[in-house]
Amino acid sequence: MDEVQQSRSNLTRRRILGASAAAAAVIGGAGGTVVATGPALAGGNGHGHGNGRLRAEPLIPARNRGIILYSVRDRITAAPDDSGVPYGFERVLARLAELGYKEIEFAGYNQHESILGRQITPQEIRKILDDNGLVANGAHTQINAATFTQQMDIAQTLGMKNIGTGSDPTNSSYTKDWDAAADLWNELGRQAARRGLRLYTHNHDAAYGFLLDAGPKDANGNPTRSSGTRRLEYFFGRTDPRYVFFEMDIFWGYVARYKHQKFTDARGREQTDLFDPIITVAERTKRFPLFHAKDGNRNTAVPNGYDMVPLGAGDINFQQFFQTIGEQDFHHANWEQDTAPGGAANPGQSLSFAELSYRNMSELTIYKR
């Protein structure tokens, strides 16, 4: 890492360790946890608190720090080469374990066939996980009635507790389609629960856009305006909390905050409503076992308002996010960066970003009495 990169890394790590006053207020009222605000807290002398020393703990427990393999998909699927960079499941998973990751979220189960002369099996992947002290915490796969039993079989072979998808339950703007999706997901969630699995869906920004559920109808009988209800938040209420769970992609949550601010109400008036990813989770925190800890730099010159960067190199306050939502032992954070692969010019980039992101994730700290 050159001097400029090292300087930027140090600056971003300092920023990521700071939580806002708003977060402090929420947490302070929730049970005696305080925010790291400076070196004095690290000493833990208890001055001004009256009940002893402060102790520092990881905000995200080491056992709950993971990665979705989509971030390093270029090396999982790479053919053997002479770059010196790990390739295939066996080598890449071993490297991720060396970096400190304890959990793996899958984004497919295939590697380059030339490694074994055939495709690897789920049983062989499970052995690689076990050999490296890794745990599978979920997967992005296709969720539908036709293949769900097969996908649950694979999940259980790999030792997962969660099974999910990277796609929204529906891409529709209409409640009728979200109702139909909820009926399916409630049923599949029951099937998953019977096998000790939690069914979850992952969001992109559109999932937190507004429903069209009010006002005049179009030629097809569909509403053309909105009550201000967001699509996935409607789905929260239509699905059974015992059987349907969620994985918030934090980056896409903040993109939704940037992109989906306005709607036209039933009377045709433009309304503004800011989406808050933290509050959305905090109000139902036990429905979010998994997160994509994906960072972004604000850039209003691009449609999403953010550019993806390694965790800790961007503007998203993960300290505030994870500290405010609480339940540290329940939540699992999977680092993701869609843009991590460096291509032929830089085949080691995705694993280098994985190293930096793990280090920054591990440095998130919470102080307790």
Give CA–CA dist 248/142, Å, rounded. 18
Residue 138 belongs to domain with CATH number? 3.20.20.150
Structure tokens at 174: 């209409």
Q: What are the tens digits of pLDDT across the range 81-121?
A: 999 999 999 999 999 999 999 999 999 999 999 999 999 99
**pLDDT recorded at residue 52:** 66
What is the SS3 assignment for 218?
A: coil
Q: Is 41 helix (H, G, I), strand (E, B) or coil?
A: helix
* Interval 22-75: pLDDT, tens: 443 433 333 333 333 333 333 444 444 445 688 899 999 999 999 999 999 999
Residues with Cβ within 8 Å of residue 101, at least 6 apart in sequence: 65, 66, 67, 134, 354, 358
Q: Which residues pair with 65 in a beta bridge?
A: 333
Give the tens place of pLDDT for each residue, 190-233.
999 999 999 999 999 999 999 999 999 999 999 999 999 999 99
- In total, how many domains does the chain have? 1
Position 17 pLDDT exceeds 70 = no
Q: Contacts by 223-229 with C-beta closer than 8 Å and gap 24+?
A: 223/174, 225/263, 225/264, 225/265, 225/266, 225/268, 226/263, 226/264, 226/265, 227/265, 227/266, 228/263, 228/265, 228/271, 228/273
Domain that holds residue 284: 3-368
Q: Is the pTM of this model over 0.85?
A: yes
The closest alpha carbon to 33, from 59, 4, 72, 12, belongs to 59
Least confident of 17-21, 49-53, 276-280, 316-320: 17-21
Using an 8 Å Cβ cutoff, are 96 and 137 in contact? no
